[in-house]
Amino acid sequence: MKNRVFELDKPTFQFKKELDQQKARSSENDMVNIVTIIGKEGGTSQNLIGTSFVKKRALDSIQQARVFLWQQKNLNNTIQKSMINESTSCIQYSPICYMETKNEGSVSEKKLFTAECFNITKNANIHQDLISQFSIQVSNWNSVDRDHQERIKNYFSREVELRVVNNDTHSARVKSLIFKMANINQIKTNIHQIN
């Protein structure tokens, strides 16, 4: 009876036998331990690589912050060294153009011109004081030396060239008249102190 049952269910018994052999082979095989070890070592290596990458980025960020702070400190030191104490009193110079217009030997008009950033001519008292001082102090006026005359001529020529168009005869006449009126050789200077 045993043999008959075995013969009838032979494929099932054969399958169970092969399955038992496979199970025993996989549990007793050396490769199972190698795979486990490789998996463990691979996970550890990946963790170390990730940690190393994070540390490198943190060190780079710290280095960049250190360089930035060092540069900022140097800039602050440079600014502090170059700053002037605000309470220090000193003489400040401002260029002013004084012009007298004469008709038949008598002065008809006196004007002051200065850069807009200086408010000297906007204050009426200072404006009148300067005009009276420049009018009275005839002996204190000095001629401009040759070097400064050349610089003034070059600057004046550039400014005229920029503002006068050269494409017609009218503009050419205007430009030559401006140069005749300028008469830079006759410019004189005077230093006047305002309190």
> 71 pLDDT band (50/70/90 cuts)?
very high
Task: Write the pLDDT tens digit of every residue in 99-117.
Answer: 777 777 676 788 887 777 6
Per-residue pLDDT at 72: 92
- pLDDT value at 35 more than 60: no
User: pLDDT: is 109 or 21 the higher one?
Assistant: 109
Beta strands of 41-89 (E only): which ranges? none
> Residue 171 — left, alpha, or beta (φ > 0 → left; ψ -120 to 50 → alpha)?
alpha
pLDDT category, 121, cuts 50, 70, 90?
Answer: low
Query: Average pLDDT for residues 36-64, to the nearest whole number?
Result: 81
Q: How far apart are the first and last CA of the chain?
A: 137
* Model confidence at 8: pLDDT above 80: no
Question: Nearest to residue 110, comparing CAs of 95, 94, 121, 118?
Answer: 121
Q: Beta-carbon neighbour count of residue 120 at 10 Å? A: 14
| Residue 156: half-sphere exposure toward Cβ, Cα within 13 Å | 17
- What is the Cα–Cα distance from 137 to 125, expressed in whole angstroms? 18
